[in-house]
Amino acid sequence: MHESRSESDRQPTEWAAARLEVYSRTVVGNLKKWRDCSLRTHSLGKLKLPTGKVVACDPFVDPDKAVEFDAVVPIGTYPITLVIARKPSGDERIAFAAITFRDATVSKWKWAAPAGWVPRSDQKGVPYEYGVDAGTGAFFDVSGCRLFKSYSFNHPLCQRLLKAKDANYKPTRDWALVMLDEASGLNAAEFSSGDGDGAYSSYWGFDEQGNVACLVTDFLMIEVE
């Protein structure tokens, strides 16, 4: 995927750009500490994208409203990385969740938006955010999201997901990479969302040639003011 004209006005805010710089310094530059927080990365596994259309959402709340972003990446299987911030109290939070599409330095960020999304006239330049009411964010291929949201909460798949998250549980964070369909290998990456409920934006990272390098969801845990 290359940067398009429709993305030319999607510059992150000053504070978002500063947080994304911390993300880059942690993942690429091995930054270990930011202010009073220690930082580390966790490799969650690989997400299969058979359509190249990515969905970021809270999978447990109004999944019917979750739609894919309007950019398409090359079909493939890509690594998921979490950046975990640990406070002096020992409290751990997921600060960023990312999909890496190529090993390249990010030279430009643009916020991501769903296909067909049009901001209100008073929200021009305001990044798209997805709402979280169950303390969970996720990455899906659009085909996986459609499959997941066809199930009820009591479906065995949903219960398996909750058990997988519990296996990585601490009081302030958890995560899981869950198989949605054994035959196709379709899966989903799910993780706790920073401090919990709220609204969170995702950003495409582009290399110097305009190729997409990554997609990062910012859970607003990094203080930059």
Contact by Cβ (8 Å): 79, 46: yes
Helix (H) or strand (E) holding 193: none
CB atoms within 10 A of CB 131: 13
What string of pLDDT tens digits covers the 225 residues of the chain? Answer: 555 545 557 889 899 999 999 999 999 988 999 999 999 999 999 999 999 999 999 988 766 667 789 889 999 999 999 999 999 998 999 999 999 999 999 999 999 998 778 776 666 667 899 999 989 999 999 999 988 887 766 777 777 777 787 788 888 899 999 999 889 999 999 999 999 999 999 999 999 999 999 999 999 999 987
- Using the 8-state DSSP alphabet, how is residue 172 labeled? T
Contact by Cβ (8 Å): 224, 22: yes
Q: Is the pTM of this model over 0.75?
A: yes
Instruction: Return phi, psi of residue 145, to 5°.
Output: -65, -40
- Interatomic CA distance for residues 71 and 7, integer angstroms: 9
For 67, residues 6+ apart whose C-beta sits below 8 A from its C-beta are 55, 114, 115, 116, 117, 142
- Interatomic CA distance for residues 177 and 95, integer angstroms: 18
